[in-house]
Amino acid sequence: MNIIKGGVTSPKGFLASGVKAGIKRSGRVDLALLYSEVPAVAAAAFTTNRFQASPVKVSKAHLKANEHHAIVVNSGNANCANGKIGDRDALKMTEFAGKALLLDKNKILVASTGIIGVYLPLLKIEKVMPELVGELSATKGTGFAEAIMTTDTVKKELAVKVKIGNAIVTIGGACKGVGMIYPLMKTEKHPSTKAQGSPEQAKRAEGHATMLCFLTTDAAITKKMLSASLDEAIGDSFNMISVDGDMSTNDSCFIMANGLALNREIRAKGNDWRKFTEALKLVTGELARKLARDGEGATKFIEITVTGAKDEVSAKTVARKISTSNLLKCAVCGEDPNWGRIVAAAGASGVDFDPDKVDVYLGSLKALSNGMSVKNLDKNKARKLFMKKDVHIKVDLKSGLHKATAWTCDFSKEYVAINSEYST
């Protein structure tokens, strides 16, 4: 398995484009298209926020088709909280793309990101759709990655190659999202997937931005197995990141597989499926960390590992709770190693563990041992650890054999500045 330079057009048969439609006030590229030259199977995971955006609802409906060819995406406008008009507009986007591509609209998926509660400028989108299709190219993957950005400061894309049987399979991806980031997605083909987090967390969507991810592969794999792979991949990647603890109304992760690698079709959870899934997890994991590193106003990247949990859900719950501690994130920004905020967040997670057994590490420095503060903790050394660009925190619950890792970033004054004037 090798990471290669590239993105969504790295796998065989995928083309992409990005153009300016005039959706963003900045005048930057804001409309993107991802296209498979041959029919592809598709799977997707969407936000569990009750207030789902219109493109999420339309894509869910279109996923019922057996094959797909394209995904059309706009940035600068979330098309959320626009009622029946928003639903119509999201469907119109697929119709416009379908007309230009000579495809049925049901074979096209749609996504949006940006400000909530603003209607889409449909006439502008329709006008540039022929240009968007005309610009499709295997060299425009980076243009696609740029067109989906909102307040992101850098493009986020990645690709890997893996040998499956006698074939070389490629997986590519691009994502965006640096604010309103606390994904909790589940795949459409896994209705039994249990969402982590409280109902209160699922209602706190407000403002802007979103996490969107687009994955492509030339692997031959059934729709069912592709969905199962995606389900595993997002559980340890996108569903473990946080920038501000606010779940978007638009979070979506799509994957299309067109089979052009000509490997033996993956139809069950055997060795080939495991190899494919591990490669997909590598892509989603790397992309997830890129999102956390580029959080709005972020100056530091924070990795939180929880070990010794009684089960995987407990480990993930504690890690995510710590990752959403505003007090901890402020402390990291100020380079103040106040580890008390770590134990407070862990204790508030709702997970059952014995506080008198817990150890906490700041990097390699132990700050808490068996529930007691370390008397001779070198505070200067601890502060230096928080002065680094990458801050590592470990919590050992000593309650079992399971572990999980979450990623977040610090809170800076820049985050407040960005989010106090985003829609004005």
Catalytic residues: 210
Q: What is the dihedral of CA 300, 306, 311, 312, to 10 degrees?
A: 20
What's the CA gap between 19 and 31, in Å, rounded? 5
Check if the beta carbon of residue 336 is closer than 8 Å to that of residue 387: no
Residue type, 222: T
* Burial track 23-60 (b if 16+ CB lie within 10 A, e otherwise): bbeeeebbbbbbbbeebbbbbbbbbbbebbbbbbbbbe
How many angstroms separate the first and last alpha carbons of the chain? 46
* Burial track 310-325 (b if 16+ CB lie within 10 A, e otherwise): eeeebbbbbbbbbbbb
Query: Tokens 């590598």 identify what position?
Result: 282
Exposure of 376 in the CB half-sphere (CA atoms within 13 A): 0
What's the CA gap between 311 and 371, in Å, rounded? 20
Q: Sign of torsion, CA 308 230 81 209?
A: positive
Check if the beta carbon of residue 68 is closer than 8 Å to that of residue 94: no
The 3-state DSSP class for residue 134 equals helix
Q: Which of 269, 276, 160, 216 minimizes the C-alpha distance to 44?
A: 216
Strands 14-19, 31-47: parallel, antiparallel or unpaired by DSSP?
antiparallel
Check if the beta carbon of residue 40 is closer than 8 Å to that of residue 69: yes
Q: Which of 76, 69, 83, 79 minimizes the C-alpha distance to 33?
A: 69
Exposure of 11 in the CB half-sphere (CA atoms within 13 A): 35
What's the CA gap between 16 and 37, in Å, rounded? 11
